[in-house]
A = this chain, B = another copy of it.
């Protein structure tokens, strides 16, 4: 079976990392598109592809067109009059059929990781979620993903919305809890790395299964005197409000669990 030839539209973080990973996995990267030709060139050179800075100049020789461009840019494609044999996007937000208006076969190829320019990415550690309009395209995307990682999933659009919401709690909000801890440490000349081993242990435990099993601290112990002490230490602002709400939530869960 001939390996699909690939065009990558977008030379940003996702596009350039994907181009390199697929190139090193043995795929032919046919074209790299960027609005900026010099940008397209800088990525294209490394993967022996043709740089393109005009979407109408993409040829029709590729078997798969991967769109790693901003969500808004993908929405605008609908009225472009372009047509591709098989096109997928890398967005975690857009519906899987966002490229239906411009492609015979379409789908989504979504790597679940934040990519940063210049930082090396090991796709082996990353989940890739694939969806497609028909079984053969889904099969193609699965095989492509499996050359990069064995962590391949196929959540539908609804599940992806829930995953995205879950990620807000797991990443954004937990990061903000760390930010508050950092504030409290730096405000009292406490070295921030002192908390690192505990934080890492918390995370290691949490990934073993339901993190609630490993919940520790005054709230789950029902240690009201410590809770009162902590509330008194916080100024009357939002940090105190957060402490109170999260403590209530943990205590209520514990109550329900008992009752």
Contact = CB atoms under 8 A, between A and B. Distances in A.
Interface in A64-92: none
A55 interface: no
A199 B212 contact: no
B153 A166 contact: no
B211 A182 contact: yes
Contacts of A176: 211-212, 215, 246, 249-250
Given A155-B190, A198-B112, A241-B245, A185 B162 contact: yes
A46 interface: no
Nearest to A213: B179
Chain A, interface size category, equals 35 or more
A203 B200 contact: yes
Interface in A170-194: 170-182, 184-194
Nearest to A129: B194
Interface string A119-150: 00000011101000000000000000000000
B170 A217 contact: no
A31 B109 CA distance: 63
A201 B114 contact: yes
A220 B113 contact: no
Nearest to A201: B114
Contacts of A250: 172, 176
Contact of A217 (B171, B220, B249): B171
Contacts of A252: 238
Contacts of A219: 172
Contact of A125 (B197, B218, B248): B197
Contacts of A179: 206, 210-212, 215
Contact of A202 (B166, B171, B206, B229): B171
A185 B233 CA distance: 35
Contacts of A196: 207
A170 B195 contact: yes
Given A201-B114, A242-B249, A166 B191 contact: no
Interface in A37-55: none
A182 B212 contact: yes
Contacts of A180: 166, 169
Contacts of A175: 202, 205-206, 211, 214-216
15 contacts: A114-B198, A155-B190, A163-B188, A163-B190, A166-B184, A166-B195, A171-B199, A171-B217, A173-B243, A176-B250, A177-B177, A178-B206, A179-B210, A179-B211, A186-B210
